[in-house]
Amino acid sequence: MDLQRELIGRTHELAPVLAARAAATEANRAPLDDNVRQLCDAGLMQILVPRRYGGHELHVDTLVEIVRIVASACPSTGWVTAFYIGHNWFHAVFPRASQDEVFADRPYALTAGQIAPSMRAERDTGGYRLSGRQSWSSGVVHANWIIFTGMVSDDPGQGPRLFCVPRAEVEVVDNWYIAGMCGTGSRDVAVDGVFVPVHHTLSFADFLNGSHHGGAVHGTALYRLPALGVIWFEVMPVMAGILRGAAECFRDLTAARANAYTGEASATRPAAQMRVGRGLANADALDDLTRSAARHVLAWDGSSAITLETRAAFRARAALVTKLAADGVTDIVNGAGGNAFRSEAPLQRYFRDVNVLRTHAALDYEGAMEVYGRLGLGQGPGSPLL
């Protein structure tokens, strides 16, 4: 707990610096080198790395607290930080030989990746030959590993598979031009027949249901989790952080505004007061929703499987948090005035960023609620993302 508090304190110290660089991060179309260096130097990336490799071996509650602070300062940097921290857990559930290689030189990796099975692979002696192009690789600009997901064309019956490839063997396509989350550097990545040793691969089904290598290698409940028991905690604190950042930005903006005709301070108007209060209360609620979900995961001791219903509930929670964050930011900007949409105004960046994120396929509100509802009605989930 002392280490958790120390890491949170370091993140709070970094937050104003990250906020001051948010516009530059957006203009760069990728995280700034200084941001990534300072986040690494603060010891944040190894939060979920096993102790045997020099990591902190903390849990998703620490991930939640760190990411919401970073995202409140700069949503793009928060998103990439969440992936870098969470994807180190991914590495910890690959075969032991893969982990030994990934963590050989330092107690964390910087990894971009996707779980949509857009790639194709063929068996080869000792591994697979991987080809294809994968989009939305957030954080790839500073990554040293890329995780791909694809089908094995000569054995489709085994289902999708994860493939871990060194960054040096991957082509990065500089095509990240988008209306929001501009600073994530989520460029396309491509390979053509690259060889992936079998120890750098993992069954997608095992990854999702928790039958991966993590529990056998490390023995603790953290590394027995089904993957989405971690992935949703990469996402939810980003949404909560965005709403918190927007609410506090609007509070400060309102405190400084005055009516151009009468000179009346905006802060004296009940409508403005209520909108500020509503924004802050919504941010508090999203923090509570995210933290309470994390407590459920912390309470799991690994002695029994996490049910499909519980996994569907996590997905529904993530989609709900996303919807509430986007709706909350929209309500805030509706009362912020035209100047809040000037390019130099931070508030318009929160608005654009959260509305891009709400289109993420895994965070689709209707889809997540459909899955949760199907299970509540005694039907199958109808979706592989559980």
Confidence check: pLDDT of 272 > 90: yes
Confidence check: pLDDT of 213 > 90: yes
State residue 220's pLDDT score. Answer: 96
Confidence of residue 260 (pLDDT cuts 50, 70, 90): confident
Confidence of residue 1 (pLDDT cuts 50, 70, 90): low
Task: With residue 152 as reference, give the H or E element that holds it.
Answer: strand 145-152
Tokens representing residue 160 in the block: 């999708």
User: How many Å apart are CA 270 and CA 246, to the nearest integer?
Assistant: 19
Spell out the CATH class of 226-376. Answer: mainly alpha
Could you give the 3-state DSSP secondary structure of residue 201? strand
Give the β-pairing of 201-203 and 187-197: unpaired
The DSSP secondary-structure symbol of 303 reads S
State residue 261's pLDDT score. Answer: 83
Q: Which CATH architecture has domain 111-203?
A: Beta Barrel (2.40)
Other beta carbons within 10 angstroms of residue 233's beta carbon come to 29
Residue from 115, 139, 356 nearest 239 by CA:
356
Domain ranges of the chain: 2-102, 111-203, 226-376
> In Å, how far are 30, 76, 77, 189, 306 from 26, measured between CA atoms?
7, 8, 10, 20, 39
Across 79-91, b (16+ Cβ under 10 Å) vs e yields bbbbbbbbbbbbb
State residue 379's pLDDT score. Answer: 94
The DSSP secondary-structure symbol of 139 reads T
Confidence check: pLDDT of 385 > 90: no
Quick: pLDDT tens for 279-320: 999 999 999 999 999 999 999 999 888 999 999 999 999 999
Confidence check: pLDDT of 232 > 80: yes
Quick: pLDDT tens for 246-259: 999 999 999 999 88
Quick: pLDDT tens for 151-193: 999 988 899 999 999 999 999 999 999 999 999 999 999 999 9
Contact 107, 46 (CB under 8 A): yes
Confidence check: pLDDT of 35 > 90: yes
Contact 335, 276 (CB under 8 A): no
Counting residues of the chain whose pLDDT is more than 90, the rounded percentage is 93
Residue with more model confidence, 104 or 260: 104
The dihedrals phi and psi of 182, each to the nearest 5 degrees, come to -65, -30
Quick: pLDDT tens for 10-32: 999 999 999 999 999 999 999 99
Quick: pLDDT tens for 98-142: 999 999 999 999 999 999 999 999 999 999 999 999 999 999 999
The DSSP secondary-structure symbol of 191 reads E
Tokens representing residue 342 in the block: 């000037």
Other beta carbons within 10 angstroms of residue 313's beta carbon come to 19
Give the β-pairing of 145-152 and 119-124: parallel
Residue from 182, 200, 203, 180 nearest 191 by CA:
200
Task: With residue 289 as reference, give the H or E element that holds it.
Answer: helix 270-299
Contact 83, 242 (CB under 8 A): no
Contact 204, 117 (CB under 8 A): yes
Cα(first)–Cα(last) distance of the chain, in Å?
A: 30
Domains 111-203 and 226-376 share a fold: no
Counting residues of the chain whose pLDDT is more than 70, the rounded percentage is 100
Average pLDDT over residues 321-327: 98
Give the β-pairing of 145-152 and 161-166: antiparallel
Contact 135, 190 (CB under 8 A): no
Residue from 150, 148, 195 nearest 169 by CA:
195
Does the structural domain 2-102 have CATH classification 3.90.1150.140?
A: no
Tokens representing residue 183 in the block: 């600073």
Q: Round the average pLDDT of the chain to a whole number and report it.
A: 96
State residue 263's pLDDT score. Answer: 84
Average pLDDT over residues 332-352: 95
Confidence of residue 321 (pLDDT cuts 50, 70, 90): very high
